[in-house]
Amino acid sequence: MTTVVFIETNFSGLDAILYCKSRGYRSVLVSDSHERFKKWFPESCMNKLGQVDLLIQVENSNDIDEVKTALQENLDRVDAVLTFAEIRTEMTARLARDLGLRGAAPEAIQIAQDKYRFRKVLLEQGADDVNCMRVETAEQLSAAKGDVSYPCFIKPVQGHSSIGAVVCNGADDMGVLTGRLAAIDEDWISKAFVVEDYLQGRLVSVEVLTLGQGVHQVVGISGRDLINDCVEVGASFPLQHPLAEQIKNKACAALDAIGYHLGPSHVEMIVTESGPHLVEINTRVGGSGHSIMQDLATGRSIVGDCVELCLGNLDMGERLYHHRQGAAWKCLVSDEGGVLEKLPQEDDIHKLPGVEHFWLHKQPGDRIEAASSNYHWILQVMCTGGDQVQARENADEAIKKAAELVHIRAA
């Protein structure tokens, strides 16, 4: 039986497990922590984990030797290994290479995950011209404050979920930021930071599936909604943009520059007055419902395409993605901390125009914080509409309604 192995998973990857079931593939999930899933997924989606045919528990799913041994002991065959979790993309690429299976070049992922190296490679290859410097600790930011031009943007060299991503408007702000950034203690967030040119403009992302060297199937461009300069609270698809061709070409050029020749990517860019500039390349499908948004708009399973790509079943010549309608997701966050007393009922939100999915990221009784990263989402809706604009309006309206039904007690 065709056997597809997932190394950990994010929210998007849960649907890949269901996709395998629908195709009659055996799905196997290798994981070292159930707690992480609970932190990452809305409670209502946890049951999708139960659809996996085999769960292989390991001590450390980032330990390639341990994972290889576990696969050998538990499986008679492996046809594909893939992951949707940022924290395992690099290891999974090395594993695929070792097992002689299709996968991305680990070196490309290493560049993408090092936000300093990424900038240097893009500069060297002429793919972008954003300048940056690297400091080894948050404390060194204060010492470097005279060497920086303001405003600048500071973020961990290796990070995720906008944790520790901040704009700094002047040398006087560096002291406070240093304290805040030094206090971060999160899995997969480096102690080193990059300080780079502040890109002022609209955040977009280009969703791509790369089938071979320089062969990119662009799913489309997503418009992104941000608050507080970095907290991602929504996305809508497919965005029509006057610079669409330039944006897509630059994203594909950046993928070529880092040597990413196989697999999905979620390429974040900011469109400034001087045109689009790269923010980062995620060498995976966009998480947090992003793939579901693309599925609704294109009528294809994006995560399913990732599975088929790894199995060698995708045709290089055929154009895969056409847009049939708009889709958008949006999250509710709070400006202030407190305790969640009441949340909307499923039915209150589902009956609103265009609502396809409604997910709770928090439960009544949970303590919440003022939004400073993507971990602070309270709830999320996924909507469709005739086009991207209408889908986004539907999502905005649903979130407005949800906000009226949420009660937060000041802590």
Ligand X SMILES: Nc1ncnc2c1ncn2[C@@H]1O[C@H](COP(=O)(O)OP(=O)(O)O)[C@@H](O)[C@H]1O
79 binds ligand X (CB under 6 A): no
Exactly one of 145, 160, 261, 330 binds ligand X (CB under 6 A); that residue is: 160
Closest to Mg ion by CB, 280 or 387: 280
User: What CA–CA distance (Å, rounded) separates 392 from 86?
Assistant: 27
| In the complex, minimum distance from the CB of residue 332 to ligand X, in angstroms, rounded to a whole number | 19
Structure tokens at 111: 């560049």
User: Whose CA is closest to 82, among 3, 161, 24?
Assistant: 3
Closest to Mg ion by CB, 278 or 355: 278
Query: Quick check: helix, strand or coil at residue 103?
Result: coil
Exactly one of 155, 250, 330, 362 binds ligand X (CB under 6 A); that residue is: 155
What does 155 bind: ligand X, Mg ion, none (CB cut-off 5 to 8 Å by kind)? ligand X
* Interacting residues with Mg ion between 242 and 301 (CB under 5 A): 268, 280
* Interacting residues with ligand X between 96 and 135 (CB under 6 A): none
CA 248 to chain CA centroid, Å, is 18
What does 230 bind: Mg ion, ligand X, none (CB cut-off 5 to 8 Å by kind)? ligand X
Kindly give, in sequence order, each residue whose CB lies less than 8 Å from that of residue 193, ignoring residues fewer than 6 positions away: 134, 135, 137, 138, 141, 154, 155, 156, 157, 164, 181
Closest to Mg ion by CB, 268 or 356: 268
Exactly one of 78, 199, 278, 383 binds ligand X (CB under 6 A); that residue is: 199
| In the complex, minimum distance from the CB of residue 300 to ligand X, in angstroms, rounded to a whole number | 25
* Interacting residues with ligand X between 163 and 182 (CB under 6 A): 165
| Stretch 248-287: interaction string toward ligand X, x if CB under 6 A | --------------------x-x--------xx-------
The footprint of ligand X on this chain (CB under 6 A) covers a number of residues equal to: 19
What does 226 bind: Mg ion, ligand X, none (CB cut-off 5 to 8 Å by kind)? ligand X
Residue identified by tokens 């707690």 is 35
Contact between 305 and 314 under an 8 Å Cβ cutoff? The reply is yes
3-class secondary structure for 293-317? Answer: HHHHHHCCCHHHHHHHHHHCCCCCC
User: What CA–CA distance (Å, rounded) separates 280 from 277?
Assistant: 9
What does 159 bind: Mg ion, ligand X, none (CB cut-off 5 to 8 Å by kind)? ligand X
Closest to ligand X by CB, 29 or 231: 231
Closest to ligand X by CB, 19 or 153: 153
The DSSP element (H or E) to which 254 belongs, if any, is helix 244-258
| Stretch 207-246: interaction string toward ligand X, x if CB under 6 A | -------------------x---x-x--------------
User: What CA–CA distance (Å, rounded) separates 47 from 304?
Assistant: 19
Q: Left (φ > 0), alpha (ψ -120 to 50) or beta: where does 13 sit?
A: alpha
CA 193 to chain CA centroid, Å, is 20
Closest to Mg ion by CB, 145 or 266: 266
Kindly give, in sequence order, each residue whose CB lies less than 8 Å from that of residue 53, ignoring residues fewer than 6 positions away: 20, 21, 26, 27, 28
Site residues, ligand X (CB under 6 A): 153, 155, 159-162, 165, 196-199, 203, 226, 230, 232, 268, 270, 279-280
Site residues, Mg ion (CB under 5 A): 268, 280
